């Protein structure tokens, strides 16, 4: 069975993000795409660009920031219209821990 196009779009986006390829990421989103990050740290909030379907990615992330370290699971719910991402909702297993790490 072929991979669903929405799953392929999200997979390609993660690959571009991993490479730091922002041009590819921008090309995959509508001009009015929004990204929602929970919490009360410097990366939290809603980021909306200028303008139906859904896909969900589950991921595990680790990061170091000075003497701080985070090791958590998360997910992003993607809304996809016309083959492009229009909205991203980030979901975290521990918002307080993310706030602590990014603050």
- CATH number for the region 5-102 comes to 3.10.450.50
Give pLDDT tens digits for 1-59. Answer: 788 888 899 899 989 988 989 889 888 888 778 888 888 887 787 777 654 677 888 88
* Candidate ranges 7-11, 63-67, 76-80, 88-92; pick with highest mean pLDDT: 63-67
How far is Cα 17 from Cα 85, in angstroms, rounded to an integer?
14
φ, ψ for residue 15 (rounded to 5)? -65, -45
pTM comes to 0.54
* CB 80 within 8 Å of CB 52: yes
């Amino acid at each position: 069975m072929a991979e669903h196009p929405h799953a392929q779009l999200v997979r390609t986006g993660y690959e571009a993000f991993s490479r730091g390829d922002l041009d590819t990421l921008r090309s995959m989103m509508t001009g009015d795409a929004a990204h929602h990050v929970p919490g009360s740290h410097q990366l939290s909030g809603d980021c909306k660009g200028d303008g139906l379907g859904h896909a969900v990615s589950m991921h595990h992330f680790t990061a170091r920031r000075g003497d701080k370290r985070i090791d958590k699971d998360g997910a992003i719910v993607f809304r996809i219209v016309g083959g492009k991402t229009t909205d991203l909702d980030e979901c975290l297993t521990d918002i307080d821990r993310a706030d602590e790490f990014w603050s």
